[in-house]
Amino acid sequence: MKQGGSDAAKRAAGEAAAETAEDGMVIGLGTGSTAAHAIRAIGRQVDAGLDVVGVPTSFQSRELARTAGIPLADLDEVTVDLAIDGADEVAGGDLVKGGGAAHAREKIVDASADRFLVVADPTKMAETLSYPVPLEVLPAARTTVAESVRELGGDPDLRRAERKDGPVVTDNGNLVLDCAFGEIADPAALAADLATLPGVVEHGLFVDVADAVYVGSEDGVTVRE
Ligand code: 5RP
């Protein structure tokens, strides 16, 4: 994932988005270092009396939310009012996500929310998406999906664990292919193509799902609706 942004910028975005939490809300809790700032901020508000329930998008966000003291529910028990999540790249209302290999659950939670806020630092902002698109794939489909991605003009690369010998395995027990397509002129068309590939559990293109993008910096936050 793009790691260029400062922690201060990520914190500013995450904390500003967390301020939109209101009593009674069910809140989708995103994954990654920027969303983590929002989760910690919501935890502090819960400490101060805010009455919300969180829906984590990954094992990582579940653990963080537990530590922060946020009551949790599973997505099949509730409907989500507000989701706050990071992104690897943002162009208008379209995103590439999945740098944390959590995009399958993130998409379910973020897309189902009444309001989905993206939290990002300025290094994530682009005119046109070009970040490699993560595909979560069933292990048995790794080779066939890679071949189909090449036919679509992409360059698939099996994601490997940084500190362990072997591939990254998602919370759902699957593998991740990071697929470089260069500049993505038509994200909706590519999303449609990727969604039809047998063995693809979910792809990391989030097309037209963001309601607002909170872009943090050392000087404050800009909200793009
Ligand atoms: C995880 C994601 C993250 O939200 C994305 O990778 C951004 O992470 P960070 O805020 O740490 O830069 O999509 O699957």
In tens, the pLDDT along 47-96 reads 999 999 999 999 999 999 999 999 999 989 999 999 999 999 999 999 99
Based on the residue annotation, tell me whether 106 is a catalytic residue of this protein: yes
* Predicted confidence (pLDDT) at residue 196 exceeds the cutoff of 90: yes
C-alpha 22 chain-centroid distance: 22
One-letter identity of residue 214: Y
Q: Which has the closest alpha carbon to 17: 178, 214, 160?
A: 214
**Ligand 1 probe mutation, 15, 97, 205, 206, most atoms within 8 A of CB:** 97
Question: What's the CA-to-centroid distance between 70 and ligand 1, angstroms?
Answer: 20
User: For residue 88, how far is its CA from the centre of ligand 1 (angstroms)?
Assistant: 6
What ipTM score was computed for the predicted complex, to two decimals?
A: 0.98
pTM, whole model, 2 decimals?
A: 0.95
Q: Any binding-site annotation on 54?
A: no
- Return d(Cα 107, Cα 37) in angstroms, integer: 20
Is there a contact between 168 and 175 (Cβ–Cβ < 8 Å)? yes
> What is the predicted pLDDT for the residue at 164?
74
